[in-house]
Structure 1
Amino acid sequence: MLGEPQVPVWAHDGRDWPNRAHSRFLPSGGLTWHVQEMGQGPALLLLHGTGAATHSFRDLAPLLAREFHVLLLDLPGHGFTQRPSRDGLSLDGMARLVGGVLARMGFAPRLAIGHSAGAAILATMALQARIRPDAIIALNGALRPIPGAALFSPLAKLLFLNPLAPRFFAHRARSRSATAKLLADTGSIIDSRGIDLYARLFSRPGHVAGTLGMMAQWDLAGLERRLARLDRPLVLVTADGDRAVPPGDAELIAARTPAARVVALGHGGHLVHEEQPAAIAALVLRLAGEFGIRTDVAASGADTRSLATSASA
């Protein structure tokens, strides 16, 4: 509609944003970034996937903040973070820009968790020695080319270069049912609030343009070839109902990457961390203990299964 903002506006779209009390904005790399920071303990970084924003961790982040110093941010061109030049939307470009934010904040994560494309950024940052976490956890990580992506990438480039394309997709997203179907197609059924937040972002052409630009610029085939050189432990968490990233991809990556291993979940879809945040928080806490990252709960010997039960109550 004529006169409406092209990008999400904090005063309007962020008026009731999840965990808003922990939000702030900071300059880095020529962009203004939306970041959220909460909790105390070992440093833990959360990166969302394509088309999402910090709201993707709306329930998981506060659970992790009970035991960790958690940092999460909107990726370039997503949510309330400004969109960079085309190069800044590439995989290497995003790794560089996110690394700049961490350097500016003096934030050195002991544990780095990325969902979908967020895992690819973390792996790239580790390969570039921008981060040196004790471990990387990929939640349904998009770390190799997805079937059909070779055809989609040129299309994404064309759409990104067409200024009318983001407006078209944003207009379609004004139908909440269209957003609900898009999310359900990933194999996940999330709550009504989550659908509303995605629909809010998808209705802004600027957010859509950032998403299209990200997909158009990425080279996951190149990352897959480099993963064998990764010197950080990589835990590939898969959900058996994921329809966006084939769970079998994790087995292929683990077979070629000495530092990687698979943790297969018998439940959930692509957005499993939004469907079952307490279970994922408990898994993260257990894995942190395995990698020697001590938290108050881990140090006390508490049963992480009971943590998942109490957190979901």
Structure 2
Amino acid sequence: MARRRRALVGIGGLLVVGGALAAGMRADVPASELEARHATPPSRFLEVDGLRIHYRDQGQGPALVLLHGSNASLFTWEGWVRELSAHHRVITLDLPGHGLTGPDAKGRYSWTDMARVLEDFRARLGLERFHLAGNSMGGSVAWHYALLHPERVERLILVDAAGYPREEPSPLVFRLMRAPGLGELLSRVSPRWVIDRNVRAVYGDPSKVTEENVDRYYALLLREGNRKATRERLRITTDDGLWKRLGEVRAPTLILWGAKDTWILPRYGERFDRDIPDSRLVVYPDLGHVPMEEDPARTAADARRFLAEGVTAPPAPASGGATP
């Protein structure tokens, strides 16, 4: 009898788990449907070596390119665009496997590969020299690009950037996505509450997360091919050893970090500051992993001051003497 009860309990547990998984099953959403909702002006698309890149190009002045983090999109920078576009030409884009750009048939998901995609994108836009900033994964792509193309990068901004071999486990959701079998399952089971929880986890103050923001993260994750691309990307070995060359970064570098970042700990910001020769570190006591999204006004003000240092003032008019 006891054995039968245990069997019934086990079957009941499996039914509960199976029901929860079935309830969380979400089909991919066609790109055209999401583009109709999210690729509103000033969104544009540019064909770059077989990849249709979603980007926005706003404002006037020295060019500033912004790179988002893992499972994010160009929308993470909208606050900085509002704050900086009066003084800069601000260019944001969805990296391969993200947002409305979607998956890359060539599987260019490593940091070095994404830096190469960025170089092709730069060439298509006709940029010569520009400022470059990146958050998390995008921060690693940014400093990889600065190492590979030092002649292009005027100034570099790293916001809670990835890049060093981790001394602690990566976030649970990333470890689950890497697991054989389970990763494939999670690519199909994507309940909104999981996305809500992960977005709140990267904020220093979770109460700042809006339902609109969670809805956008969720919708763009479901874009056809993005979840499969995420699984492929997370299974790529990220330690390519280039972090050992950070001392070769020539661009003046501003490092911004949230003290409450539990995804990439603040000590890595200190390490970037030690390893990059011409750098400075700003830590925000109340912010988390995405400071530019949590407090765009304060973080963009620091970025604006830093970028202004690279602007050469016009020569002062000569004083005294006769006018010819």
Q: How many residue pairs end up in the alignment?
A: 285
Cα deviation for residue 87 of structure 1 reads 5.0
Question: 2-side partners of 1:228 and 1:44: how far apart?
Answer: 23
Tell me whether 1:180 sits opposite 2:184 in the alignment: no
2:189 is matched with: 171
Cα deviation for residue 23 of structure 1 reads 0.8
**1:254–1:260 CA contact under 8 A, matched in 2:** yes
Cα deviation for residue 278 of structure 1 reads 1.3
Distance 1:131 1:142, change over 3 A: farther
Tell me whether 1:259 sits opposite 2:278 in the alignment: yes
Q: Structure 2: which amino acid aligns with 1:104?
A: R
**2:249–2:276 CA contact under 8 A, matched in 1:** yes
Pick which of 43-52 and 164-173 moved more: 164-173
Question: 2-side partners of 1:6 and 1:293: how far apart?
Answer: 49
Q: Deviations over 1:46-73 (max 9, x none)?
A: 1001111111112222322121111111
Distance 1:247 1:15, change over 3 A: same
Tell me whether 1:12 sits opposite 2:28 in the alignment: no
Cα deviation for residue 167 of structure 1 reads 5.8
Question: 2-side partners of 1:27 and 1:233: how far apart?
Answer: 31
Return 5+ residue gaps in structure 1 as ranges.
295-313
2:130 is matched with: 110
2:254 is matched with: 235
Q: Structure 2: which amino acid aligns with 1:106?
A: G
1:127 is matched with: 147
Distance 1:82 1:137, change over 3 A: same
Tell me whether 1:148 sits opposite 2:169 in the alignment: yes
Give 3-state SS (helix, strand or coil) of 1:113's partner.
Answer: strand
Question: 2-side partners of 1:109 and 1:92: how far apart?
Answer: 19
Give 3-state SS (helix, strand or coil) of 1:27's partner.
Answer: strand
TM-score (norm 2): 0.79
The percent identity for this pair of structures is 27
CA RMSD of aligned residues (A): 2.8
**1:110–1:134 CA contact under 8 A, matched in 2:** yes
**2:183–2:231 CA contact under 8 A, matched in 1:** no
Query: Which of 241, 245, 257 pairs up with 2:264?
Result: 245
**1:145–1:220 CA contact under 8 A, matched in 2:** yes
Matches within 5 A, 1:33-182: 33-85=53-105, 87-129=107-149, 132-146=152-166, 147-149=168-170, 156=177, 159=180, 165=183, 168-173=186-191, 175=192, 177-182=193-198
Distance 1:151 1:14, change over 3 A: closer
Return 5+ residue gaps in structure 2 as ranges.
1-21, 314-324
1:194 is matched with: 213
Cα deviation for residue 114 of structure 1 reads 0.5
TM-score (norm 1): 0.81
Question: 2-side partners of 1:198 and 1:216: how far apart?
Answer: 21
Cα deviation for residue 170 of structure 1 reads 4.5
1:287 is matched with: 306
Pick which of 140-149 and 91-100 moved more: 140-149
Question: 1-side partners of 2:177 and 2:281: how far apart?
Answer: 31
1:308 is matched with: none
Q: Deviations over 1:146-171 (max 9, x none)?
A: 32249998875555xx6x84563453
Cα deviation for residue 91 of structure 1 reads 1.4
Give 3-state SS (helix, strand or coil) of 1:21's partner.
Answer: coil
Cα deviation for residue 267 of structure 1 reads 2.2
Q: Structure 2: which amino acid aligns with 1:171?
A: V
Give 3-state SS (helix, strand or coil) of 1:268's partner.
Answer: coil
Cα deviation for residue 85 of structure 1 reads 4.5
Question: 2-side partners of 1:171 and 1:13: how far apart?
Answer: 19
